[in-house]
Each structure stands twice: as C-alpha cells, then as structure tokens.
Amino acid sequence: MIEEKQIQELFPNLEQGLYDELMMYGEIKEYRAGSTMLRIGQNIRSTMLVLEGVVKLYQEDDEGNEFFIYNIQPGQACAVSMVCTFQQEKSQVMARALTDVTVLNIPLQYMDKWLSQYKSWHYFVIKTYRSRYDELLKTVNEIAFKNMDERLEFYLKRQVKQFGRQVKLTHQEIASDLNSSREVISRLMKKMEKNGWIIIHRNSFEWIRD
C-alpha cells in the first residue's frame, strides 16, 4: 500500500494540495520484472511516476533489436509519457520493468490543470524534460564520438550507479543495449576483467574498480 508520506519523500517540494490530488486521482499500477510497460505505437493517456523499481526505456527495430536510451528510477517521471500525454501522441519508444515496478499513473486531464494550478508541478515537469534531454545528449555523445570500449565503460558505470556494484546483466543484454554483438562485448569485458575493473559471473558482473 502506497502512502502519501512515501510520495512526499520521493517527490519533495510539491504543494500539499498537489500531494492530496496525487493520492486522490493517481492510479497505482504494479508490473512484474520483465513486463513490457509501453509499446511503440501505443496511445498514452497518463503520465507515469515511478515509485518502486527500475524501468528501462529503449527503442526496437523491425527485427526486434533493442537500443538502450536510459533507465527511470524511483522519484523520477517518464518524460516520454509527459510529452505524448500533452500532445496526445503515440509512443515511439518501448519501456520494460527491469525489476518489480510500482508506478503512479496521472490521467491526462490533470496534467494541464496542475500546470496552471501548481507552480511546483510546472517546475517538476521542466526538470524532468531537462534531465532526460541531458541523458539523451550523453547517449548521442557516446554513439557519435566514442569507440565501443569507451561506450561499454560508460554503460557499465551507469548500471553500477543505479543497481550497485553487483549487476545482473548477460553479455547478450548488454550487446543489445549497445547495438553490438555478444562476441564483441564478451571480448571487451574479459579485457576489463584482466585489467582488474570487473569480475565476470554467470549472467552478471561485479564492478571492483574504484
């Protein structure tokens, strides 16, 4: 059971009236790890605030190949759902629960209302857009200007920052996120292990570099 105190801790600095409306009109929804939460072409009629767990945002081509964009953690909102909700557009990305996830869905009609009624909601929406824009710039920078070993290091550090030093990811999953091959990722990770950066386990790795 999600309580107002938990929402206040995850999303601080909102007006009390907004917290009351979040509890009153928000819809709690739970997803099991591995569940698809958002599909390309799906109509979005609510904005998603993450309360528990981690959501992976990615794109998928016609052959089912994935390209990692960023993760959404507790205390963050899905900027894509905000944009699509405002403009009543269809999603152009996919979202999947990396762990068991609990979200608070905000129906479309309250998004516009709260922007004019609550200054803190306006600031929160702008902050969400800005942070996701920065994430996309980092991703573009990694693709355009760095080679695969640098991209892999950047990617692994992001995962460690979000999940801790022990990260459950297979080489194939990492390869899919980086639009590479499992063989290339395995070779580079073995090199990192030899250099004392990581310890490779079955279906996971441990970051040991300071």
* 101-111 mean pLDDT: 91
Q: Does position 3 have pLDDT exceeding 90, yes or no?
A: no
**Is a pLDDT exceeding 80 seen at residue 23?**
yes
What pLDDT is attached to residue 103?
96
- CATH level 3 topology of 147-207: Arc Repressor Mutant, subunit A (1.10.10)
Q: Where in the chain is the domain with CATH 2.60.120.10?
A: 4-143
- Cβ distance 54 to 162 under 8 Å? yes
Sorted by sequence, the CB contacts under 8 Å of residue 144 that are 6+ apart come out as: none
Instruction: Write the pLDDT tens digit of every residue in 161-173.
Output: 888 999 999 999 9
Q: Whose CA is closest to 103, among 153, 33, 52?
A: 52
Percent of the chain's residues with pLDDT above 70 = 98
Residue range(s) occupied by CATH 1.10.10.10 in the chain: 147-207
Residues 6+ apart with CB under 8 A from 56: 68, 71, 72, 95, 96, 97, 98
Report pLDDT digits (tens) over 114-136. 988 999 999 999 999 998 888 87
Closest CA to 7 of 125, 102, 118: 102
Q: Please provide residue 166's backbone torsions phi and psi, each rounded to the nearest 5 degrees.
A: -100, 115
Cα pseudo-dihedral 11, 158, 151, 31, rounded to 10: -70
- Provide the CATH topology of domain 4-143: Jelly Rolls (2.60.120)
The rounded distance, in Å, linking the Cα atoms of 71 and 159 is 9
What is the DSSP-derived secondary structure letter of residue 164? -
